Structures are given as structure tokens and as C-alpha cells.
Amino acid sequence: MRVALFITCLADALFPSVGQATVSLLERLGHEVVFPEDQTCCGQMHINTGYRREGLRLIRHHTEVFSGSDAIVAPSGSCVGSVRHQHAEMARRAGDDALAAAAEGVAARTYELSEFLVDVLGVTDVGAYYPHRVTYHPTCHSLRLLRVGDRPLRLLRAVRGIDLVELPAAEECCGFGGTFAVKNAEVSTAMLADKMRHITSTGADVLTAGDSSCLMHIGGGLTRLRAGTRSVHLAEILAATA
Amino acid sequence: MTTFLGMPSYAPRGVGALRGFDLFPAAAREALGNAQLRRNLGHATATIRAKRAAVVGEVADWEELRLAGEAIKAVTMARLDEHLVRLEREVTERGGTVHWARDANEANRIVTDLVRAAGADEVVKVKSMATQEIGLNEALAEAGIAAWETDLAELIVQLGHDRPSHILVPAIHRNRSEIREIFLREMSDVDPGLTDEPRQLAMAARAHLRRKFLTAKVAVSGANFAVAETGTLAVVESEGNGRMCLTLPQTLITVMGIEKLVPTWRDLEVFLQLLPRSSTGERMNPYTSLWTGVTPGDGPQTFHLVLLDNGRTAVLSDEVGRAALHCIRCSACLNVCPVYERTGGHAYGSVYPGPIGAILSPQLTGIEDNASLPYASSLCGACYDVCPVRIDIPTILVHLRGRHVEERSRRRLPSPEAVTMAAAGWTMARPARFRGAERLLRVGRVLGRRRGRIGALPPPLSAWTASRDLPRPPSETFRQWWRRTRGTS
């Protein structure tokens, strides 16, 4: 299958290893990965902060870039959530029905990584080897916007060598929330403190999740406290081999 | 009589409890530093969350009930004007009197005049959000009329000279030892040997309230629902104190937001299933009081219904935001909200706190008066999942942020954020500009050179680095790596 990688602006700029892992995982499973180089950002940050005009411009650009792709995969629940639940609606409300229709088409072909692996490719054992104690945080948008359910956990359980431990109060938000992390930094930090308390209580040396943004927030807190737990994206664990 | 056909107006300033003094981040800071408050809230919300989850899990058709609740509210709001006129006719035919209040000032004036006309200088009150919203107790006090709250938690708040911090459990921020102190200090007739055992506290409140019930000539209530087809009002409660108010006094005055109406009894059935499980986590609430006009020789012989707008028509005029009017005040969204759980209700400034407050208060007052509230959410979506009438709170929060940004831009109020967002939008609209901007990451590489991460940045990014490191930017971006290793695709 020919898969177009939607890298997300954050992973592109700050976490290229997440993109590299996604590419190597999909290629190992026998699929061709293409990278539409004109892609920039899905516009979620603008939309969610109230900047609809700028957001709409980015929606238009994103839709144009990916309109020719058959399957679009992103290592992010949040960005896929925006494409699927915000793009067409924003276009419609702005009175651009043609863009809304095109965005709906792109949305229908866009998948978060764990959805794509489990639902489209039909695999849960991706042949990974990862000998570490790992706990998984389900990010809010993958959980409640995309409803990925236990797909990431099914993928993780099939990883050889892994010691997967359950995260207490896993479904509670980590406090990132995009610009919320800066606009309401102190509430965000209070939420992070509880998330980190639960993570360290598991004794895991690796925290994983499907969103680089939430991992940047939680991981930034963990390194600040020298907590001894690393944050690693799900794609990187699934790409790892012996 | 004149007919006003202008644009719907917002809830007026200077009256009522829809606006706070501080912006949310500042008010939240104070709450976050209060360890006792954090503990009380964490404990209480976790308990109610678990109870709700258990009783909701028992209902096989819960999702169908939610869909029904959402649909009934949507079709009711679409013809609210017709239903309200029907309600007025039915109440009037059954011996009640209906008053229309455009805003808090009108409603307070109407109620004050009615209490005076009844020759009373005190009223007993059923727990009511609408009367809190309009600041009725304060307005009555100015007219020399004492208003006694009879809901136990509202009584605690009133005696503590405090503000409610939760829709359902207004004293959620207090624990029992604090309640004991308040009773000992404020109840003149209390036993000085009072302990903090819940039963003892309840008995003290009971003895205190019983005297008020037996002497008051006038009661003031809100309403959970009004059934338009028969003009019937409904109050749902746990303690029975509401029923005492609704049955003992000679005169009953009910203040109800215009959105509380349901067209028929069949509609009411859906909400009476949704509300108790969502709010107190009970299968059924202990007391459901229903009354229709006046019944000779039974209950209040004079009944007044005050229909309150106070910004609701303005909410109704927003195609996306109007779903906030579907709220049945269950407070399930407060109990699951990770922000509310840590800040409590006072931080929201308004009598409507939590996620529902963050979308309702700014729409009632106009966004500029509560501009920080739509941002008081991480958009985690837990509120939408539990809402019994499926209000898509995250989408409305985002919509209100959009309205706020556009209003500021129309009023030509520039902000550093708007400039940054415009620049980022401009940059990311063109791939070449974006690639160029990514080269700026080299600055970040220099900053993170020593420790492999960035620990301190100047404002406004210091808000991030105050508690979190930022990763040191990589030596090449993903797209640079792709181009280097794969060429162009």
C-alpha cells in the first residue's frame, strides 16, 4: 500500500525520530511511504486558540497537499482529530462548501498510526522488540475524539521483551491542551504533577503515548524533576527491533 | 404595552453573580495554592464521579436517552417563543400569575414588589441557580427583606458569608470540620457541644431551618423544569427542604430561566431519568415536587412565575453556542473536569463554574466580560462524554475563543498573541516559508547545547519553562532528513 506520511509540524521540527520510526515501521510491514513535502501544519493550534482566519488558510493548504493521497497516516491523535472533526466543519461555517467537501474526503482517508495498523493493515504484532518497563498514557484526543480504544495497547502487548504496566488514572488529561499549557500554565502544571505522580508510581522507565505534544509536556516535566522516566513515542517502540 | 424588537441584550453589569473580579489564571493561582481546598475537591469529585459511573453503567439505553435529551432540547429551543406563550396561558388558567423579566434588575424588582405586597419581611428559599445568578438575596436585603437559604449546602455557604463553588454541591470546597466551625459561629441556637459527625451537623441544620419553615409567609424557588402543556413546574431535590418551602408558605414565587421549559410530560420523563444519575449519582432523587397553578386549600394559595431572560435570548442567537441552553444543571461536567477539580468553582468568577460555566457565562454576559473563561480548558473532552444532553462543550469553547479573537480584532485591540498567531499562520501557509522558519531552530540548538534540553526561556515562553523543559531542537528536521536520505518524493 502507498501511504502518505502526515508528519505534523511539531514532529517535523522537534521530534524527527518519530517520523523516521513511522517510516521504518511502515516500510518494514511492506508498504511504500511517500512524504508530500509541501505539508506544513493542520492548523489545530490556530483553530483551538480562536484564530479561525489563519486556521482556515492552513486547512485549505493541508487539504490541497493531501487531496491526491489514498491513505494518510499521522503519528498523532490530536492532529488527526483536528483533520477529522474540525476541518470540514470550519470550512462549512466559513461558507466554503467546496473546501468542506474536499476536507471531508481527506479526513475519511486520514488515520492515526494505531488505527491504521490495526484497522487498515489488520496487524497487532508488528515484529517489534523493546526490552523496557513501559507505561502507556492514552492522550485525550486519541481517546475521546478518535476513540482509538485499546488499539495502542494491543500493539504494545504484542511487542517482544516489553514489560507493560498499567498507568493509574490513565484517562485523565496530562494538562497539555495546546496553548492552554502557556495561557493557564499553573493549572496545566497542577495536572501534570498528578500525571507524573501516577507515572512514577508504576516504576516504568519509559512513558509512551501517541502524541508528541503531550509527550513533550509530560517529558519536559519528568526531565525537569530528574524523575528517571523517559518519554518515547509509540511509533518509536513499534519500530524498534532486536 | 410596548414591544421591543431590537437585538437581544446581555445580562447587565453591576447586578448578579455572572462576573468575577479576576481573570481565570489569576483566580486559579490562588485556589491551586490552597491545599485544604485541593484535598476537599479531589475527594468530593472522585466520590461523585465513581457514583455516577456506576449508576449510568446500569442503564442499557443510556446513549439513547442522551440522544433523546439532546433532540428534545434542540426542537424545544427552535420554537421556544411558542412554548413560552403556551406555558404562560396554562399557568394563568390554573390560577398562577406569570411575569416576564428581561434581565436581573427586572426580575429582582418583580420579586421584591411581590414579597412586599404579601406583607412579608422574610422569605425561605429553595436551592436555585437562577436566583443566585441575578443576585436576588442581595436585592431583597437592600429592600429590608431577609432571604433564608434552606438547602443544607446553600445554608453553609450563606452562614459562611461565602460564595457557592459548585452547581449541585455549593459547599463542596468545605469539609465537615469547617462546616462545624461555621455552625458554631453563625447559628445562634446551636448546641455548643456540636461535633463534626455528619448526622449531628444535619440535625443542627434541621432544627435551625424548621423554625424558618413554620414562620415564613413567602417562599422563593427556582425550577428544574416547566411542562408547557399543563403549566406544571418541577423541582428535583434530595433533602425535602425544598418541598417544605413549596408547600408550607402562603405565597410561592418561582424564578425560572426561559430555557428550562419542556413542551410535554413525555419529554419530562426523559430528563427525570437523565438528571439524578448524572448529578448526584442516584437512580432516583428522593424528592420530585410538581405543582400546577393553585389548588384551593392545599399548598400556597398565591403562585407567581417569573420568566427570566438575562442574556438567554442572546445565547439563543448563536447557532453554535446555543446548545449551552440545553444544560439541565446536573454538574456532571464539573465533576469530571481536571481543571475544575484543581481550581474549584470560585476561580470561574460566575455562579456557573466548570466546563458548562465556561461556555454559558461568557455568552450570557457578552464575551469581553468573561473573556478568560473559554480558555480555562485543556479541551480534553471528558465533559462532553458525561453530559446527559450531549452538549459538545469543547467545540463551543473553541467557537467562543474564535468569537473573542474576532471581537478584539474588530475593536482593533492588538495583542502580542495575535501578532504571533498571524505570523505563524503566514509562515505555515507556504512550505518555503515554513522551511525557512525551521532554520530558526538553530537558535534553540545553541540554547540547549549544555544540558541537551532547554530549561529557561524569556516571557511569554517562560510560562512553559517555569515547570517544564523544552527538548533541544534536533540537528536536522524530519523534512531535511527525508530530503537527504530519500531525495524528493
Closest residue of chain B to A140, computed from CA coordinates: B380
Instruction: Report the interhelical angle of A185-201 vs B24-32 (nearest 10°).
Output: 40
Q: Contact A58/B429, CB-based, under 8 Å?
A: yes
For chain A, list the domains and their CATH numbers: 2-120 (3.40.50), 133-239 (3.40.50)
Inspect the interface and report whether the beta carbons of B425 and A51 lie closer than 8 Å.
yes
Q: Do A49 and B401 touch (CB under 8 A)?
A: yes
For residue A133, the model assigns a pLDDT of 98
Q: Closest residue of A to B380, CA-based?
A: A140
Query: How far is B27 from A204, CA to CA, in rounded Å?
Result: 36
> Cβ of B381 and A141 within 8 Å?
yes
Decide if B471 and A219 are in contact by the 8 Å CB cutoff. yes
* Contacts A54 to B, Cβ<8 Å: 421-422, 424-426, 429
Q: What is the pLDDT along chain A (242 residues), one digit of tens a residue?
A: 999 999 999 999 999 999 999 999 999 999 999 999 999 999 999 999 999 999 999 999 999 999 999 999 999 999 999 999 999 999 999 999 999 999 999 999 999 999 999 999 999 999 999 999 999 999 999 999 999 999 999 999 999 999 999 999 999 999 999 999 999 999 999 999 999 999 999 999 999 999 999 999 999 999 999 999 999 999 999 999 98
pLDDT band for position B487 (50/70/90)?
Answer: confident
Residue B478: its H or E element: helix B478-486
Which positions 405-464 of B are in contact with A (Cβ < 8 Å)? 405-406, 417-418, 421-422, 424-426, 428-431, 434, 438, 441, 453, 455, 460-461, 463-464
- Those residues with Cβ within 8 angstroms of residue B138's Cβ, 6 or more apart along the chain or in another chain: none
A66/A58 Cα distance (integer angstroms): 12
- Please state the separation of Cα A160 from the chain's center in Å: 23
Alpha-helical segments (H) within B58-103: 62-78, 80-93
How far apart, in whole angstroms, are the C-alpha atoms of residue B338 and residue B131? Answer: 28
pLDDT at B74 over 60: yes
Res. B1: pLDDT tops 90? no
Q: Do A224 and B469 touch (CB under 8 A)?
A: yes
Across the interface, whether the CB atoms of B343 and A187 are under 8 A apart is answered yes
Please list every residue in chain B whose beta carbon sits closer than 8 Å to the beta carbon of residue A140.
378-382
Tell me the chain B residues in contact with residue A185 when contact means C-beta distances shorter than 8 Å: 25, 463-464, 466-467
Query: What's the DSSP call for residue B326?
Result: G
d(CA A14, CA B372): 30
User: How close, in Å, is residue A156 to chain B by CA atoms?
Assistant: 24
Query: B24-313 belongs to which CATH class?
Result: alpha beta
Beta carbons of B479 and A182 less than 8 Å apart:
no
Q: Is the peptide bond between B460 and the residue preceding it cis, with omega within 30 degrees of 0? A: yes
B378 in reach of chain A (CB within 8 A): yes
As a whole number of angstroms, the longest Cα–Cα distance in chain B is 91
Q: What is the mean pLDDT of chain B?
A: 95
Pairing label, strands B287-292, B470-471: unpaired
What is the model's pLDDT at position B3? Answer: 62
Q: Which residue has the cell 449519582?
A: B281
Question: For B136-189, how does the pLDDT look when each residue is reduced to its tens digit (9 = 90+)?
Answer: 999 999 999 999 999 999 999 999 999 999 999 898 888 899 999 999 999 988
With a CB cutoff of 8 Å and minimum separation 6, the contacts of B367 are: B374, B400, B403, B404, B407
Residues forming a β-bridge with B233: B226, B291
| Chain B partners within 8 Å of A38 (Cβ) | 431
Using left for φ > 0, alpha for ψ between -120 and 50, and beta otherwise, residue B299 falls in: left
Interface of B with A in 287-326 (CB under 8 A): 320
CA B135 distance to own-chain centroid: 15
pTM of the model: 0.96
* DSSP state letter for B322: G
Q: Check B377 against A189: CB less than 8 A apart.
A: no
DSSP state of A129: B
Nearest CA in chain A to B438: A13
**pLDDT at residue B374 in the model:** 98
**Eight-state DSSP code of residue B175:** -
- Say yes or no to pLDDT of B460 above 90: no
Residue in the structure block whose three cell numbers are 461568557: B362
Of all residues in chain B, the percent with pLDDT exceeding 70 is: 98
Are the CB atoms for B242 and B127 separated by under 8 Å? yes
Q: Specify the pairing of strand A32-34 against strand A2-5.
A: parallel
Between CA A143 and CA A181 the distance in angstroms is 19
- Residue B5 — pLDDT band, cuts 50, 70, 90? low
Of A16, A181, A191, the CB nearest to B338: A191
Quickly state the pLDDT bin for B4 (edges 50, 70, 90): low
**What does the alpha-carbon distance between residue B171 and residue B201 come to, in Å, rounded to a whole number?**
14
In sign, the C-alpha dihedral spanning B105, B108, B111, B114 is negative
Give me the residue label for grid cell 463534626.
B196
DSSP notation for B393-454 = HHHHHHHHHHHHHHHHHHTT---HHHHHHHHHHHHHTSHHHHHHHHTTHHHHHHHTTTTSEE
What are the residue ranges spanned by the domains of chain B? 24-313, 430-486
Who's near A40: CB < 8 A, 6+ residues apart?
A9, A58, A61, A62, B428, B429, B430, B431, B434
Q: Is the pLDDT of residue B114 over 70?
A: yes
pLDDT tens-digit series, residues B387-446: 999 999 999 999 999 999 999 999 888 788 898 899 999 999 999 999 888 888 888 888
B172 near A CB under 8 A: no
Q: Shortest CA distance to A153 belongs to which of A106, A210, A203, A97?
A: A210
Q: Tens of pLDDT along B349-383?
A: 999 999 999 999 999 999 999 999 999 999 999 99
